[in-house]
Amino acid sequence: MMLSVLLLGILLVILYFSFSGRSKRRAIPSPSGFPLIGNLHQLSLTPHRSLCELSKKHGPLMLLHLGRIQTVVVSSAELAHEFMRIHDLCFASRPRVKASKFLLYDGKDLAFAPYGEYWRQLKKLSITQLLSSKMVQSFEHLREREVAQLVQSISSIASDGGVFSLSEVFNWFTNALVCKAVLNSSISDEKKKLLAEMIHVNTVYFVKVFAEDYFPSLRWLDVLLGLEGKLNRHHKKWDAVLDAMIEEHISSSEERGSKGISFLDVLLDVQKNDFSSEIHLTKVHIKAILLVMIAAGTDTSFAVLDWTMVELVRNPNLMRKAQEEIREIAQGDATVREEHLSKMHYLKAVIKESLRLHPPLPLLLPRESTQDCQIKGYVIPKKTRVLINAWAIGRDPESWESPEEFKPERFLDCPTDYNGNNFKYLPFGAGRRICPGIQFAISSIELTLANLLCFFDWKLPDGFKIEDMDMTECGGISCYRKQSLQLMPCFRA
């Protein structure tokens, strides 16, 4: 009897302290939701916008119940600093999502791999062999050659007085440039078109609502609705393309011998010399890595080029100002070369402002907490998903004057860079998971825009006005403009 009373007393004490401890925890502000689905119904096809609107009501730190998945949304520079600098290690991993499981060979790529030794070694390999300052500089002649060919192609259109889709050209051009850097070989126009289409489908699948992602026991519903089948067919399409790329690369290795070693050659060498390498790679790993390098490299540069030209067309005075700077610096030269770019301060400001308003990933890739963590008095439990709304942070009136206006001047004589040190400005993320391809992307973007603005004036097709330009965004993990940019190039006066 006494033992029962004693055990009951101990149990009551434990329960008291457990619940009293919980009651002292501050509850993260959260919008009300429906039973079972929680807040899923409040996500639109452009979730960065719907989450921004919710944060205006519930605050810059907001908890969403997306089915059975607890998700924290961060919408201010101060809180982004907490998650990606002070507590970055706790939030450096990725959640396992269905699109990554199928398309990226269960997260064996650099972008979606969980935080750990494999990811660290893969990042090290990718930077040293492809994305370091030294390697990016080594691609200078490749970029200049590809951009010169682009200018020549557009010159033919200008000679005929034609209108064309600059968006489509940007997509093909960035894809060709990335493939050349990764594979050290050119790809056919047919394959460029195929890859562009497949990359676009990828961006849609990564924001598509799959039942299994939010209700782990409901995978059968994805199967029943045909969603998993479509995803698997798209994966098989990618798998066949990547297999062909690798086989073609291996079979042509002798022919390419004198042209230097590519990033794919490095990956194949690591696979071959597995026991002497710090990282274990199979063909499956190589395909996952290639897919992300090609897709992310194409996607990022294309989105920035397209949005920047859209903003310049909408602001002709700013376009003229950029053109005057570029033409003065490059006067007398047949092309704008990379050595000119360091002097083009206004062009750099234009690109930075475009990235503030239109970050390539408006919601940075999702993170996941690896342990309980306390942020500003709130406890973030282990396995909580975290979304950083870079789009909302870039338009926050607390951080930016006239945040909805396109004003490149705000970046003149301003030390802000792309390296994630200023948490008001996160177009490429910050912390351990910052995009490793920043230098590669920016070098290509600056050189391309400098040449297009130097040698051509740009007009909308006859009958179209600036106010007719539709700024609606496509739904996807990347932020594209829904309407293709149709322009008429004219040789500069």
Question: Which amino acids are annotated as binding site for heme, given as ranges?
Answer: 435
Please choose, from the candidates 477, 483, 384, the residue with its C-alpha nearest in 3D space to the C-alpha of residue 167.
483
Please choose, from the candidates 396, 424, 383, the residue with its C-alpha nearest in 3D space to the C-alpha of residue 85.
424
Q: Which two tokens stand for residue 331?
A: 């006067």
Residues 6+ apart with CB under 8 A from 334: none
Q: Report how far apart, in Å, the C-alpha atoms of 1 and of each of 9, 10, 12, 15, 358 are.
A: 12, 14, 17, 21, 70
Q: How many beta carbons lie within 10 A of that of residue 271, not counting itself?
A: 16
Question: Which amino acids are annotated as binding site, given as ranges?
Answer: 435
DSSP-based three-state secondary structure for 164: strand
Residue 55: enclosing H or E segment and its boundaries?
A: helix 47-58
Looking up tokens 């979730």 gives 47
- Angle between helix axes 283-314 and 117-126 (nearest 10 degrees) is 60
Please, are residues 486 and 166 in contact by the beta-carbon 8 Å criterion? yes
Residues 6+ apart with CB under 8 A from 378: 25, 26, 28, 61
- Angle between helix axes 283-314 and 345-357 (nearest 10 degrees) is 110
Residues 6+ apart with CB under 8 A from 240: none
User: Rounded CA gap, 435 and 426, in Å?
Assistant: 10
CA 270 to chain centre: 27
Q: Which long-range contacts (CB under 8 A, 24 or more apart) does 163-167 make?
A: 163/461, 163/486, 163/487, 163/488, 164/486, 164/487, 164/489, 165/484, 165/485, 165/486, 166/306, 166/309, 166/485, 166/486, 166/487, 167/302, 167/306, 167/481, 167/484, 167/485
